[in-house]
A = this chain, B = another copy of it.
Amino acid sequence: MKLKLSKNAKLYKTEALKQIFAAIASPNIISLAGGVPSPDSFPIELIRKLSNKVIDEHGAKALQYSKTAGIDEIRETLADWMNERYDMKIKCENVMITTGSTQAFDLFGKIFLDPKDNIIVEDPSYLGALWGFDPYRPSYITVKSEADGIDTEELERKLKMYKNVKFLYIVSTFQNPTGRVIELSKRRQLVDLANKYDFLIIEDDPYGYLRYEGDPVDPIKKFDTEGRVVYLSTFSKILAPGYRIAFAVGNERIIEWLCDAKESADLHTNVFGQYLVNEYVKGGYVEKQIKKIIKLYKPRYKVMLSSLKKYFPKDAYWTEPEGGMFCWIELDEKIDTTKLYKKAIDHNVAFVPGVHFYAKRDTKNTLRLNFSNVSEEKIKKGVRILGELI
């Protein structure tokens, strides 16, 4: 039988990455490839306690069908949490729960994208978001990432060239893959540009809580004057990814449209997880847990930076992020990191070749290294082997 697929079906294939993830499943591999939190960070006893609390206090309600936007309790808790953390004025109606931020990318595609619509992404950008948008066949406008975040001059040049941009997608803090942070004045500038050139900003912030050095920066959403910024975050990195509890914060009309699309995507996100995360935040456990995670990741991050310095060639460039889970490396232009990857696997080390993070897949000499889910010893060894291979 020949399958009669849709024209879009092939846009969902991510063969190269499947091979990478298959390779890193082997226990012998030192994987600097993943983007996965360390299981050592999971607060298992707390989760047992909160699970039982959810069953005691909410029982059948935590097991029944629920609203597409999420249970009212968690929407209120998250609004309060954002308001307290960033001195903002978010209301319950501005918050929706998504099944991972991955789902939010798909919902944005459904509600905002027709084929060939212009959207702007950084170069490089988070590959999961690109996968989410790709099947909607947008025209990508790429803007260079600089040490202090997206190049806003290039951005405005391109906004003048390309009319009718639907949205800018950007990871604002400890970007995936570079680890970079958009500097404060640029954040205000992005909002000004969105107002002036009439587009939305999807601000993705899964890593902002994981800061090892330096001072926190307010989210772009805080400077939003016209309801153009939709802020995405998740409990995947600060509790556990398995529950798939993420959230979007935006103007009420946009949230309603995204919920309309979510209704036929999965009706609602798992309710038990929503109640559990609600207890986690409301109970004040989250700040303590973030401290625990930082204590675990910070030495790993230090070892990665010192190992890069020790083992990588002098003409290599790498980011020295103040937080998050990744370092980003640019090698001599002659080096194709997809080829390097094959050699590295033969030496039992894995990473993600940078090409997957470019919307146009047009840059070959970069790579992403993860330090959150690897021991210090393995980071040192892995980086040393990579350095030798380069």
User: What is the bound-complex CA distance between A137 and B106, given in angstroms?
Assistant: 18
Inter-chain CA distance A128–B40, complex, in Å, is 40
**Contact: A51 with B60, CB < 8 Å?**
no
A54 to B266, CA, bound (A): 24
Q: Size band of the A side of the interface? A: 35 or more
Which of A12, A110, A111, A128 neighbours the largest number of chain B CB atoms within 10 Å of its CB?
A: A12
A49-79 vs B, CB cutoff 8 Å, 1 = contact: the mask equals 0011001000111111110000000000000
- Assess whether A270 is in contact with B242, with CB atoms less than 8 Å apart: yes
- Bound CA–CA A263/B13 (angstroms): 9
Distance A55 CA – B266 CA, assembled complex (angstroms) = 26
Among the stretches A2-10, A291-299, A306-314, the one at the interface with B is: A2-10
A36: nearest chain-B partner, CB-CB: B65
Q: Are B257 and A63 in contact (CB under 8 A)?
A: no
Judge if A243 is at the interface, Cβ distance under 8 Å. yes
For the complex formed, measure the closest distance between the CB of A36 and the CB atoms of chain B, giving whole angstroms: 5
The answer to whether B257 and A270 have CB atoms under 8 Å apart is no
- The copy count of this chain in the complex is 2
Q: Are the CB atoms of A4 and B243 closer together than 8 Å?
A: no
Cα of A62 to Cα of B239 in the assembled complex, Å = 12
Shortest beta-carbon distance, A128 to chain B, in Å? 8
Within 8 A of B (CB), among A193-251: 198, 226-228, 236, 240-244
Contacts of A254 in B (CB 8 A): 3
Determine if A51 and B44 form an interchain contact, defined as CB atoms under 8 angstroms apart. no
Write out the residue numbers on chain B whose beta carbons fall within 8 Å of the beta carbon of A261: 9, 12, 135
Q: Which residues of B contact A102 (CB under 8 A)?
A: 264-267
| Cα–Cα distance between A134 and B59 once the two chains are bound (Å) | 35
A244 x B257 contact (CB < 8 A):
no
Knowing A1-B227, A253-B3, say if A132 contacts B272 (CB, 8 Å): no
Q: Which of B12, B48, B272 contacts A55 (CB 8 A)?
A: B48
Q: A36-B65, A60-B42, A240-B63 are in contact. Are A4 and B265 (CB under 8 A)?
A: no
* Those 9 A-B pairs whose CB atoms lie nearest each other, nearest first: A39-B60, A63-B240, A242-B271, A12-B260, A99-B266, A63-B242, A131-B264, A270-B270, A102-B267
